[in-house]
Chains A and B, each alone.
Chain A
Amino acid sequence: EDQVTQSPEALRLQEGESSSLNCSYTVSGLRGLFWYRQDPGKGPEFLFTLYSAGEEKEKERLKATLTKKESFLHITAPKPEDSATYLCAAAYSGAGSYQLTFGKGTKLSVIP
Chain B
Amino acid sequence: GAGVSQSPSNKVTEKGKDVELRCDPISGHTALYWYRQSLGQGLEFLIYFQGNSAPDKSGLPSDRFSAERTGGSVSTLTIQRTQQEDSAVYLCASSKRLYYGYTFGSGTRLTVV
- Tell me, yes or no, whether A binds B: yes
Pick from A32, A41, A96, A104: contact of B99, CB below 8 A: A32
Asked whether any CB of chain B lies closer than 8 Å to the CB of A42, the reply is yes
Number of residues from A at the complex interface, CB < 8 A: 28
| Interface residue stretch chosen among B13-21, B37-45, B65-73, B76-84 | B37-45
Give every chain B residue within 8 A of A100 (Cβ-Cβ). Answer: 43, 45, 102
Verify if B59 is at the interface (C-beta below 8 Å from A).
yes
| Minimal beta-carbon separation of A35 from chain B (angstroms) | 9
CB contact under 8 A between A104 and B48, given known A43-B91, A49-B99: no
Minimum CB–CB distance from B28 to chain A (whole Å) comes to 16
- Tell whether A43 pairs with B105 under 8 Å between CB atoms, given A96-B56, A99-B48: yes
Binary contact track A73-103/B, C-beta < 8 Å → 1, others 0: 0000000000000010101000111111111
List A8-61 residues whose CB lies under 8 Å from chain B: 31-32, 34, 36, 41-46, 48-49, 51
Residue numbers in A under 8 Å from B42 (CB-CB): 4, 87, 102-105
* Chain B residue contacts of A44, Cβ below 8 A: 43, 91, 104
Look across to chain B and name the residue whose beta carbon is closest to the beta carbon of A32: B99
For B107, what are the chain A residues with a Cβ–Cβ distance below 8 Å?
Answer: 42-43
Which residue of B is nearest A42, CB measured? B106
Q: Which of A31, A46, A51, A103 has the most CB of B within 10 A?
A: A46
Whether the pair B106, A95 counts as a contact (CB closer than 8 A) is: no
Q: Which residue of B lies closest to A36 (CB)?
A: B104
Interface centre among A44, A95, A101, A103 (most CB of B within 10 A): A44
Cross-chain contact B106 with A46 (CB below 8 angstroms): no
Complex alpha-carbon distance, A107 and B73, angstroms: 34
| Chain A interfacial positions (CB closer than 8 Å to B) | 4, 31-32, 34, 36, 41-46, 48-49, 51, 87, 89, 91, 95-105
Query: Can you spell out 22 A-B residue pairs with CB atoms less than 8 angstroms apart?
Result: A31-B99, A34-B101, A42-B107, A43-B4, A43-B93, A44-B43, A44-B91, A46-B101, A46-B103, A46-B104, A48-B101, A49-B99, A49-B100, A89-B43, A91-B99, A96-B58, A98-B33, A98-B50, A99-B45, A100-B102, A103-B42, A104-B41
